Amino acid sequence: MGDPNAKYQSPLTSRYASPEMAANFSNNKRFGTWRRLWYNLAVAEKQLGLGGITDLALDQMKSNVDNIDYEVANQEEKKRRHDVMAHVHAFGLVAPEAAGIIHLGATSCFVTDNADLIIFRDAMDLLIGKLVCVISDLAQFAVKHKDLPTLGFTHFQPAQLTTVGKRATLWIQELLWDLRNMKRARDDLGFRGVKGTTGTQASFLALFAGDHDKVEQLDQLVTELSGFSTCYPVCGQTYSRKIDVDFLSPLASFGATAHRIATDIRLLANLKEIEEPFEKDQIGSSAMAYKRNPMRCERICSLSRHLMVLIGDVLQTASVQWLERTLDDSANRRISIPEACLTADIVLTTMQNVVEGLVVYPKVIERRIRSELPFMATENFIMAMVTKGGDRQECHEQIRVLSHQAAAVVKQEGGDNDLIDRVRACEYFAPIKDDLDELLNPATFIGRAPQQVDNFVANHVAPALAPYSAAIAAKKPAELSV
């Protein structure tokens, strides 16, 4: 065995991916699935009365599904330039009684396409299981911080207050849409079935001596044996590559969500209001020892960009399939679709790790609110003065002058916002001096944010997560290898 460090390895598997997702796209999974498909086909053919398939043949096939001699298969593929026939040969060597009936009536896409559909569905199950855990963790975070006022930002400029928990619901809502889209794509996956070389089932019609009913029964029986309830009613040699577009679209969309959430956390980390977890021995910079870089969220953004662009591969592949099929889809699909699933898996694991360890700094948040709230509270000052007999226009002018003076101190002198001190010192505002503290209470500026969090979690998050309660209960902390 050569040194694995002497040749390129994809960092998706060597550095980041979870063991379960890497295993889902492994050779063992792919070629083991091929053998299960050949076994299912033989079982169905025998059950429908096709001769020449013995019980011993089926026993040998079943007992050797995972007994794959890759050296034999690789040597045969090098000679034949055909991966499917290489594995037919290798399977036949360990199941000699079945050697003559393996792949009977089938075309290569019987195993390649059907196996892909099985692997894709299993991949989406893994992704959905991780996504619901992220949503669950974020929902707990939202509820915990539903009452904590924080400065809102529009255009990344200070705006009216919201709460830390309410902001998290914006992230959760997009993730719920991603959950809906992934589940729909998963449930929409069908089975290619047994359709023959160009989709006409001619070879199977010949095997069953022109009995159309048995061919239809064979198609449905193999579909059910392979774990699907339905197969695509028509296809060419392959299932339509439009299916790949439908499958990858929700993953690309999720990439946009993940990038947005991670970017928000990066911005808040710069403000020192919220940080991703930072381990005791973690180093933020090789030169600047004090730094606490948001490397996890940066990784999420980096990989999410890759995830978002992979949809272009499957769109282009779907658009250029000629007539019943061309082979220019194969090499591209071997890369783009596994990479999309692996990348989504990595992003989800990293997101879970971040959400589980999010750190909130209430005092920093409070300080920033104090620096901006006086300006935001000026409308409240005006309303309070009017209720005590003041003139709205005169009050507005008084506030305008004092606000500009305070802004000059902040912007030109680098001082603190002293608007409240100016209001207290101004005789005009004497009628409301005793009310200023209450008028400046941040809790009075957050509207219905706490109630919105409670309603959203109870009426939207909880029902969406209910079908996955077992997966959420079994959740383990997300650990990153690097």
- Active site members: 155, 285
Rg (CA), the chain: 31
- In DSSP terms, 412 is beta-bridged to none
Reduced to 3 states (helix: H, G, I; strand: E, B; else coil), residue 275 is: strand
Sequence-ordered list of residues with C-beta below 8 angstroms from that of 63, at least 6 positions apart, any chain: none
Residue 247 carries which DSSP code?
H
Question: For residue 193, which amino acid is it?
Answer: G
Residue 60 identity (one-letter amino acid): Q
Cα–Cα distance measured from residue 479 to residue 481, given in angstroms and rounded to the nearest whole number:
7
DSSP per-residue letters across 321-374: --TT--GGGHHHHHHHHHHHHHHHHHHHHHHHHHHHT-EE-HHHHHHHHHHHHH
For residues 475 and 171, is the Cβ–Cβ distance under 8 A?
Answer: no
Residue 378 sits at the vertex; the CA angle it makes with 403 and 154, to the nearest 5 degrees, is: 90
Rounded to whole angstroms, how far apart are CA atoms 335 and 311?
12
Which pair of tokens denotes residue 290?
């004090």
- Residue 84 is classified by DSSP as H
Question: CA 218 to CA 65: how far, in whole Å?
Answer: 21
Q: Which residue has the tokens 């095997």?
A: 207
Burial class (CB in 10 A: 0-12, 13-18, 19+), 145: buried
